[in-house]
Chain A
Amino acid sequence: MDYLVAVLLPQLLHGLVFGAALGLLALGLTVIFGLLGVMNFAHGELYMLGAYAGIVVVGVTHSFWVALIVAPLLVGVIGAVTEVATLRPLYRREPLYGLILTFGLALAFREAVRQIFGGDMRRILPPIPGSTPLLGMTYPNYRLFLLAISSVLLLAIWLFFTKTRAGIVVRAAVQDAEMLDGLGVDVPRVFTLTFAGAAALAAVAGLLLAPIFTVYPQMGVEMILLAFIVVILGGMGSITGSVVAAFIIGIAQSLLTLWMNPQRVAIAIFGIMIVVLVVRPRGLFGREGVLE
């Protein structure tokens, strides 16, 4: 009983907090894949740009909350420009082109940030200080806030795709872009705005996690691998799948750390992904050509 309360429950909470933030990152990745058919290798760098944009905005305004609005907008604009200037000309080509392009973009973004900000680790102070007694331990208020805001955002995005006209248009574009074009919808604009939205979401995740993980140019590389696992596990292009898989990965990583060396945890997580792919090759929730 002691073990359950003192160790397992806090660990479960760590997993939920991390899983929720990971979900934000993975969601953008899965939407881009579903819509554009591109595995966006630069998504981790958009996450990283969110944190750096946050540092700049906090530096100017001294407010984390202003940064939480402005930084994703800035990264959203970068995303939109990137989509129009680089990805759009490649849509009619094989997916491999998009993959190579985004890989190059990732390198370019990372090195540009290193040139501008240097390679040092930077910190953003948590905007909510203090901690709350919880489950027999003291839990930082900021992490509880992170869990709450990430969950709210995940719910809002799910509502957007299922209940709003704009969301339904995006899903329709995934299923049949040509038909949608024929119905008079400006499909390229839908693509651009969706890419920008996914970039902004990655930026939100980057900034929200910055007070915990700190900020450095490589930060996206480490997260993108996990985000890819989440997307594959959840089913490529499945929104519900990504959210569920993000929590599974977050909690699995957190709980497994209790019993094994972290390097082995990474192997175990890949193991989970392999088993799921063998049993369900489309992932937990994936259906071809459907964003749901």
Chain B
Amino acid sequence: MRAKTLVPVVLALAVIALGAAPASAQKVVKIGDLGSKVGVFEGYGKYQTMAIQMAVEELNAKGGVLGHKIEIISEDDETKPAPAVRKAEKLILQDDVKLLIGAVSSGSTLAVMDVTKKHKVIHWNSVSCAEFMRTTKFHKYYFSNQPDSRMQATGLAKYIVDKMGKKVYIFYTDYAMGQSDGRQFKTALEKLGGDVVGVAGAPLDTKDFSPWFGAINQANPDVLFVAFAGTDSLRLMTQLHSFGMTRKYKLAGIDCFLLQQDLPAIAEPMEGFVQLAHFSPYNQDKNMQAFNARFKKRFGTDANIMAGAYDAVLFWAAAAEKVGSFDADRIAEAQEGMCLDNTHIGRQCIRKEDHQVVMDMHLYQVKGGKNLPIATIAGKDSIGEPMVGKDPVEGFTWEIKKKN
């Protein structure tokens, strides 16, 4: 009796299993999403994941890459180099990812570059901007579509000298990213005849910036250039405002200073702030508007500069399709010089020599909590000469030139 009942059950299960087999048979290729999921850069990590997710969903809807369904494995690097290296090793050795995107913090990315170089894995970055990535730390598998410090400094320094004032105080977050931004900005500004009246660095995740305000006030600059990001920027702006310094000085900052989503909450301190970025949902560029509409439909919020991670997936997928393989060497070679028209800002091309995407940047000014475009800087004018293997800080000094 019992055996008789079992037979149809087993048969039914077998049919279900066989029926399910074709659907689950599609091969899978994994990609790694490494970034800050908590802490000072949490917002950037969150939007990086969303951008990757959107690209993967769109590609999977069209059949994936080389017939493989793309699967994302996300890891949190706690915004620290040591966990970033550990997680990158895990993504590569355990999960066998064919593409690694991240990290958010430049310090983490610099550390992860050694891992991707060692294991020969395609590595994209869409937010870290320290100048070492396309110079001394550059390797065959590393690609970036984030304007690095040199590109940003060239664009921003000219606008500041021309339109905002010549006496500038540089205040930066004292680790790889901020040091790099401060250095490149000082170099660019002095080259253009600007006068750096003071420099100071505050550690990452500083809670109270007021101890630095006395020195800034004493230097009495026209412009305060700030190279911070994430919750550091939020705290800094709130405190500068409470000390009346947002009204006293003109303020300008780097592209990752704050995400558009952060602005409404501190609209008053940020009013008039000039920020360089490659994307804003308030830019009327048709490509940005089209991308933002899709992003908003999918996630219910505007896109921001982290949308670069979307392009990273597209470039990698296009290169894999082109060479018909997930082989990292062949993909890296295919990506060199590759252009795509469907990125979040339209057409982008990867420069062969240093794997830097040549992208136009825009200057935005915050008005009523919105980043509104005020000028455009062509990518070809700001990217500078390739400096692979050369020390980008050779001969640099933080010393302030004394004027008589």
**What is A's interface to B at a CB cutoff of 8 Å?**
2-3, 6-8, 10-11, 14, 18, 119-121, 123, 126, 131, 136-140, 142-143, 212-214, 222, 253-254, 257-258, 261-263
Bound-state CA distance A6–B42 (Å) is 36
Bound-state CA distance A3–B215 (Å) is 9
**A257 touching B217, Cβ below 8 Å:** no
Q: Which B211-256 residues have a C-beta within 8 angstroms of A?
A: 211-215, 217-218, 231, 234-235, 238-239, 242-245, 248
Bound-state CA distance A140–B206 (Å) is 19
B193 touches A (CB below 8 Å): no
CB-defined contacts of B208 to chain A, threshold 8 Å: 14, 18, 212-213
**B231 touching A137, Cβ below 8 Å:** no
Bound-state CA distance A4–B248 (Å) is 21
Least Cβ distance of A58 to chain B in Å? 16
B191-217 CB mask vs A (1 if < 8 Å, else 0) is: 000000000011100111011111101
**B214 touching A11, Cβ below 8 Å:** yes
Query: Interface extent on B, as a size class?
Result: 20 to 34
**B211 touching A7, Cβ below 8 Å:** no
Residue in B39, B174, B211, B231 whose CB lies within 8 Å of A257: B211
**A262 touching B202, Cβ below 8 Å:** yes
B323 touches A (CB below 8 Å): no
Main secondary structure of the interface of B (DSSP, over half): helix
Bound-state CA distance A112–B217 (Å) is 42
Bound-state CA distance A2–B212 (Å) is 17
B38 touches A (CB below 8 Å): yes
**B218 touching A3, Cβ below 8 Å:** yes
**B239 touching A212, Cβ below 8 Å:** yes
B202 to A, closest residue via Cβ: A262
Report if A262-B243 is in contact (Cβ < 8 Å); known contacts: A119-B39, A120-B38, A254-B211.
no
CB-defined contacts of B212 to chain A, threshold 8 Å: 257
Bound-state CA distance A101–B66 (Å) is 57
A125 to B, closest residue via Cβ: B238
CB-defined contacts of A131 to chain B, threshold 8 Å: 242-244
Residue in B42, B206, B243 whose CB lies within 8 Å of A137: B243
B42 to A, closest residue via Cβ: A120
**A14 touching B211, Cβ below 8 Å:** yes
CB-defined contacts of A253 to chain B, threshold 8 Å: 211
**B214 touching A10, Cβ below 8 Å:** yes
CB-defined contacts of A126 to chain B, threshold 8 Å: 242
A265 to B, closest residue via Cβ: B211
Report if A14-B231 is in contact (Cβ < 8 Å); known contacts: A7-B218, A131-B243, A140-B242.
no
Report if A140-B201 is in contact (Cβ < 8 Å); known contacts: A7-B215, A10-B214, A214-B235.
no
Most buried by A among B213, B218, B239: B218
CB-defined contacts of A263 to chain B, threshold 8 Å: 203
Q: Which B166-187 residues have a C-beta within 8 angstroms of A?
A: 174
Least Cβ distance of B250 to chain A in Å? 17
Least Cβ distance of A169 to chain B in Å? 38
Bound-state CA distance A140–B240 (Å) is 10
Bound-state CA distance A77–B387 (Å) is 62
**B218 touching A262, Cβ below 8 Å:** no
**B244 touching A214, Cβ below 8 Å:** no
**B231 touching A11, Cβ below 8 Å:** no
Q: Which B117-139 residues have a C-beta within 8 angstroms of A?
A: none
CB-defined contacts of B213 to chain A, threshold 8 Å: 10, 137
CB-defined contacts of B248 to chain A, threshold 8 Å: 138
CB-defined contacts of A136 to chain B, threshold 8 Å: 217
CB-defined contacts of A7 to chain B, threshold 8 Å: 214-215, 217-218
